[in-house]
A and B are shown apart, each in its own frame.
Chain A
Amino acid sequence: MAIIKATKTPARPEPLSETSVLGWLRKNLFSSAFNTVLTVFTIYVIYLTVSGVYVWGYADATFVAETRRECYGNSLTGACWAGVIDWLDNIFYGRYPRDELWRINFGGLLLAFWMAPLWIARAKGKVLVGASVVVFYPFLAGYLFSGGDKGLFMQVMVSGAIVAFVINMANAIVGILKQESIAQFIIKRLGQANKADKKQRNLLIGLVAVGFGAAYLWQSSWTVEFVTWTKWGGLFLTLVISGIGIASALPGGIILALGRRSKLPVLRVLSTGFIEIFRSVPLITVLFMATTMFPLFMREGFVLNNLVLVIIAVVLFNACYMAETVRAGLQAIPKGQAEGAHTIGLGYWGTMGLIIMPQALKHMIPNIVGSFIGLLKDTTLVSIIGLFDILGMLRSISKDVPWLGLHKEPLIFGAILFFIICFAMSKYSRHLEVKLSAGSNH
């Protein structure tokens, strides 16, 4: 074969289109006459839209006014945000007593602090933190929000929640400072590190019991005023319903999915039937059934309030959808994984909990978050059956005498709010996905 090149070819810098803005523009936006026309036209449309929105929504808009008439007096071509601003408290909290709003804010803050360790790399025991949120927080928040007399059960759960919260916070702080769990820290501090596992465990259980006693005594010294559920509303109610839905849809979905894959025919048929029935009916139908039909089947005098019925319906409905997501995730795990687990003697639950489920959940994250976003948005359907969630509140602005007929602005405000929440969720799920796959794609 003949020599084709006797000397080395020197490297040249990349073409203009790869570096400069101008090059990029030319390559992507103005590469041909048609492309140029398209670009110019698109820019024009974008300009029209943005300038229109700007003038209506900001430049000509009225932010301070007492009534809708006053808005019109100010400007006919601008938005009347004054109505939305006037109703902000209602939009966020419904008709919750204004003096008691701190309870809702405090509840939200508690949740934020409770979950924060999940995002702190150095904090230990993330699974326990997650589990404690699901198990205890609902009771503490439930009591905070509804108030009244605590029954014995509530007293126990509230005390448990307080203890769990305090341990969680201490654990996070110790984790940040020393990168160890609170249990390790205490054991070391008390000089018990060399003692048998059992002794250490008993010691810790003892400490928790003492903490529980203290919390029990403390919480029995105060109560908060009763607020009936009909006063709950706005974004708060939406978040309560969808929060409970989100927290229980995944566990419920896992149980149903496992039931559907079970070797026991009865369990399998029951789960499959349950899933298929709920999945073939629209949520709004399920909600109507829950609030109008269900009470008919109950004994006289057995009244469950509508909120509870709605929450049960939302939970069941979403658990069934989640079950299918989980099932798909489980199917993606090769059979060899279960066999590998069996050969080291893990039983059914060990295999599921330690081997199959952790891998499956990782695959399912995008779908799970997708369902959560759907759930949040679907929750607004409860306004149709007469609950004043955020959509219900936004729509009642137009029925309020000073703001009669004000439809557009509240709904646009709601849309922006939902967009922010949902967009944040989906961005976060992308981030999780990348992070988790970076952790396993070795």
Chain B
Amino acid sequence: MSNAQEKGQLASAISSEVMIEVSKMNKWYGSFHVLKDIDLTVHKGERIVVCGPSGSGKSTLIRCINALEEHQEGDIIVDGIKLGKNLKNLDHIRTEVGMVFQNFNLFPHLTILENLTLGPIWVRKMGKAEAIETAMMYLERVKIPEQADKYPGQMSGGQQQRVAIARSLCMSPKIMLFDEPTSALDPEMIKEVLDTMVDLAETGMTMIVVTHEMGFAKTIADEVIFMDEGDIVERNKPEAFFGNPEHERTQKFLSQIL
């Protein structure tokens, strides 16, 4: 936490320690070149917002970082571990990196509490009582402790997404990835999820968030990345990014969504 700096509305505490190091990474789906020569460094405590047109490869990028997808060329090093064919590394990475999806992906056959304690009990080998305690703590934090015994299908989208965030947090991850966490939600629920994410940002979590919520980006982002057709086109501080985008593609995109 050496060079803590004051910016925007939210203090950030970026350490010099590198959490994610992507270098010259390329990925193809069949013959389709999705990600092209991606270079990306994320430090501990840094919060990155990724935006860009649909199909530009944002999801694919963060899925590669979480080893949900394989990349073909280049390196991805997460928390000092190089992603590759080594399955043990993959399992380890997945426990260190939490991910929140557009469609929540909660387990519909389990209660909220079971959704939250599953990972700690089966993967972290935590005792049941302790796991429940942790789960309740995170449910408090996302402000729905009273829903612990419900099933996901009984909750609103916004509540489900907050449960999904809590589920990831129960694994005490070092990094949290968000893939358009609010785009499947009704407008009145977006705020509650974004608030939860702002709270999380305040704890100093390393975050990569794919989102088009520009207000949110301005509040929490240390840097904003713009992707287009598999390239990282521009990376900048939010003020500069929104106030004075450098690249023509960025300008065009921003003019469309703002």
Residues B153 and A440 in contact, CB atoms below 8 Å apart:
yes
- Are B68 and A442 neighbours in the complex by a CB distance under 8 Å? no
Closest 7 pairs between A and B when the two form their complex, measured CB to CB: A340-B105, A344-B119, A345-B95, A345-B123, A442-B154, A336-B105, A343-B99
Chain B residue with the shortest CB-CB distance to A355: B107
B122 lies within 8 A of chain A by Cβ: yes
When C-beta atoms are compared, the residue in chain A nearest to B66 turns out to be A343
- 7 sampled A-B residue pairs with Cβ under 8 A: A340-B107, A342-B66, A343-B68, A343-B99, A362-B109, A441-B153, A442-B154
- Contact, CB under 8 Å: B153 / A350: no
A345:B107 contact, CB within 8 angstroms: no
- B residues contacting A by CB (< 8 A) are 66, 68, 91, 94-95, 97-99, 101, 103-109, 118-119, 122-124, 127, 150-151, 153-154, 164, 167-168, 170-171
Check B108 against A359 for contact (C-beta < 8 Å): yes
Question: If the complex has contacts A342-B94, A354-B122, are A440 and B99 also in contact, measured as CB distance less than 8 A?
Answer: no
Taking CB atoms, residues of chain B closer than 8 Å to A359 are 107-109
Query: With a CB–CB cut-off of 8 A, which chain B residues contact A344?
Result: 94-95, 118-119, 123, 167-168, 170-171
| B residues near A378, Cβ cutoff 8 Å | none
**Chain B contact residues, majority secondary structure:** loop
Q: How far is the CA of A341 from the CA of B107 in the complex (A)?
A: 8
Nearest-neighbour CB distance to chain A for B223, whole angstroms, equals: 24
Q: Does the CB pair B101–A339 fall under 8 Å?
A: yes
B151 touches A442 (CB 8 A): yes
**How far is the CB of A333 from the nearest CB of chain B, in Å?**
10
A377 to chain B minimum Cβ distance, whole angstroms, is: 32
Asked whether A337 lies within 8 Å of B123 as measured between CB atoms, the reply is no
Considering the complex, give the chain A residue whose CB is closest to the CB of B128.
A197
Closest to A359 in B: B109
Cβ–Cβ contact B68 & A354, under 8 A? no
Residues of B within 8 A of A362 (CB): 109
Whether B122 pairs with A346 at a CB distance below 8 angstroms is yes
B142 to chain A, nearest CB (A): 16
Shortest A34–chain B CB gap in Å is: 48
Closest to B167 in A: A344
Tell me the bound Cα distance from A441 to B151 in angstroms. Answer: 9
A358 within 8 A of B: yes
Measured between beta carbons, the chain A residues less than 8 angstroms from B104 are 340
Residues of A within 8 A of B124 (CB): 345
Q: Are B122 and A350 in contact (CB under 8 A)?
A: yes
Residue of B nearest to A441 (CB): B153
A347: interface (CB < 8 Å): yes
- B213: shortest Cβ distance to chain A, in Å? 22
